[in-house]
Amino acid sequence: MENLNKYVEHTLLKQDATRAELIKLFDEAKQYNFLGVCVNPCYVPLAKENLKDSDVKIVTVIGFPLGANTTETKIFETINAVRDGADEIDMVINVTKLKDRELDYIVNEISGIKAACQGKALKVIIETDLLTKEEVKLASELCVKGGADFVKTSTGFVKGGVGAKVEDVEIMYNTVKDAGLQVKASGGVRDKDAAIAMIKAGASRLGTSSGVKIVS
């Protein structure tokens, strides 16, 4: 498969990431012409400075990794991230609210954050490792109702989780495709075979820290 680099959001979200590691991430994103980088919100200005002469998108995460912040906090985070130069926003849903079937809460939160994105793309992380197949479908439907642009598999932070699975990506894609939403597979996409499998299942984005390995 050609142009795999244009599916990759080169990702560094670990707690102990150093400035030097982030600079390396940005340099690799430019070298391999990746679609984007994904970093924590406080590093968006650093990304903006280092990627200013490139077309690499700056993606950041909101309510990460648990999704249990208040909606107001997530909206405030989003406004700040956009102000700082984020091109796209990846928010984490409140999984407890989904499990408890407080569905209006989920939809209202997504729509509120989408409004705060000021036209920037919004991806919604549903954390598939914690969901049944029925819940994966339901969460994807709520992303449509909330006005999101993408539904995304995982944070990669669930202890013992495997991250993106082909069968979950297929469910997500088949649920949202007619509404025009896209799918981002993230977590556990560590080699070219895995990347291609996710794309064939319907993913149009890959969130991975293994981008260089995948395209090499």
Indicate which residue of 120, 152, 165, 168 is catalytic.
Answer: 152
- Determine whether 129 is an active site residue: no
CA 175 remoteness from chain centre: 18
CA distance 3 to 1: 7
13: tokens are: 């979200």
- Determine whether 90 is an active site residue: yes
CA distance 141 to 107: 9
Strand pairing class (36-39; 57-62): parallel
- Could you give the C-alpha distances from 60 to 57, 96, 98, 116, 213, in angstroms and in order? 10, 23, 23, 14, 22
CB within 8 Å of 135: residues ≥ 6 apart: 98, 99
- Determine whether 99 is an active site residue: no
Indicate which residue of 87, 90, 129, 168 is catalytic.
Answer: 90
Q: Name the residue type at position 212.
A: V
List, by residue number, the catalytic residues: 90, 152, 184
